[in-house]
């Protein structure tokens, strides 16, 4: 019998209520729910988002993550974020990285 991951409180859409409850194991669980096998590039985005959150107490806008990827992978990586998270930055990257659901963003 598979051991269930004890999930912290999430909102109606599956986002963490408290981003401090996030862990690597939780990222793997959320990514599994989205059918995303986490690669080094996924983890790089997740770590960048977590560091940004720790510093600013808010999820980074997608353009900051795109800029981060471009610095690491080169200018042709502009669409890399959307290859890594095909159903959207907010729906997948923010959720997997343990952010609260961003309000009023259209960069989904």
Domain locations along the chain: 19-96
pLDDT score recorded for residue 105: 52
Report H helices in 24-93: 24-33, 40-56, 62-73, 80-84
CA distance 14 to 72: 30
10-21 average pLDDT score = 93
Q: What CATH class has 19-96?
A: mainly alpha
Length of the chain measured in residues: 108
pLDDT-based confidence at residue 1 (cuts at 50, 70, 90): very low
Local confidence band at 5 (pLDDT 50, 70, 90 cut-offs): low
Which pLDDT value is given to residue 7? 80
**Which pLDDT score is estimated for 63?**
92
pLDDT in the model for residue 25: 96
Per-residue pLDDT, 106: 46
C-alpha closest to that of 26 among 97, 91, 94, 92:
97
């Amino acid at each position: 019998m598979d051991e269930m991951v004890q999930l912290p409180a999430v909102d109606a859409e599956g986002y963490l209520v408290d981003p401090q409850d996030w862990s690597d194991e939780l990222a793997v669980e959320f990514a599994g729910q989205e059918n995303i096998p986490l690669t080094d590039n996924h983890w790089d985005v997740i770590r960048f988002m977590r560091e940004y959150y720790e510093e600013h107490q808010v999820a980074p806008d997608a353009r900051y993550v795109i800029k981060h990827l471009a610095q690491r992978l080169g200018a042709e990586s502009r669409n890399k974020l959307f290859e890594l998270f095909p159903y959207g930055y907010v729906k997948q990257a923010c959720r997997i990285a343990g952010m609260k659901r961003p309000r009023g963003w259209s960069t989904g």
